[in-house]
Amino acid sequence: MTPPLPHEVTVAVIGGSGLYSLFDPAESEKRRIETPYGPTEVTLGELGGRRAAFLTRHGVHHSVAPHLINYRANIWALASLGVRVILSSSAVGGVTADYPPGTLVLTDQFIDRTSGRPDTFYDQGSVQHLAAADPFAPELHEIAVQALAGETIATSGTVVVIQGPRFSTRAESLWFAAAGAHTVNMTMYPEVPLAAELNIDTVNLSYVTDSDAGLSPRPGEVDPDAVSHELVLKRLAAAQPRIVAAIETIIRALPEGYSPRQSIDPAEVEAVLARPVREAGEAR
């Protein structure tokens, strides 16, 4: 049995590609949390004057592909700690020239183009239909906008979430832009709606690392912003201080007692959190 936490943890940070640690190891605590969907590891520490949980999507060695991330285990684990707000960081490609490399984006809409990912907690015993017109909590989004008023950012953006791990073809990228998307990513779905299903609000801070395929050069041309795995990781590493500073600024701006939306009946959420954890070796 995991011992109780000394303080309630209401804020969590989920780190995307490039963000694999957040706290001073000497002043933080790693926890393995067993969930009905398998175990996950969370680090507890302080950021922005608050006790917070940190979870890295891809593992500390970037070893978990986007379509293989155990999203339900991650979100269930955070909910079990008492988390009510998630700040997520993401690497994205820009599919329009208005979102060039180096842009910070507060994402407010997504288009799901993934397939086969377990994307609901309500697949047994109870069916709940999540209202998802505004998947990223508008109140939390506005808090982030105001907190980062001194930073050069895009205050809104629609992301297309693709299956990965491959990048888009040129035709796909142009199609996404024609559909109204601004950026492309591989992990925001089903992470965001799963959090909403447990009445956790999410705000997303994305960093544009590259120009996606639709903006990339034709064969024989050269463009330093053309998407590649190496370019993404290199630019993310350089941008980490800026990204972490922005996350900390948003956390400091959160009002005490912030109350997230209740998208699902709290009794249904409690029923999900009361499910027995999965023993080692059992199927997901």
- Catalytic residue positions? 210, 212
Residue 168's Cβ-count burial label (10 Å; 0-12, 13-18, 19+) is: buried
C-beta separation of 202 from 118 below 8 A: no
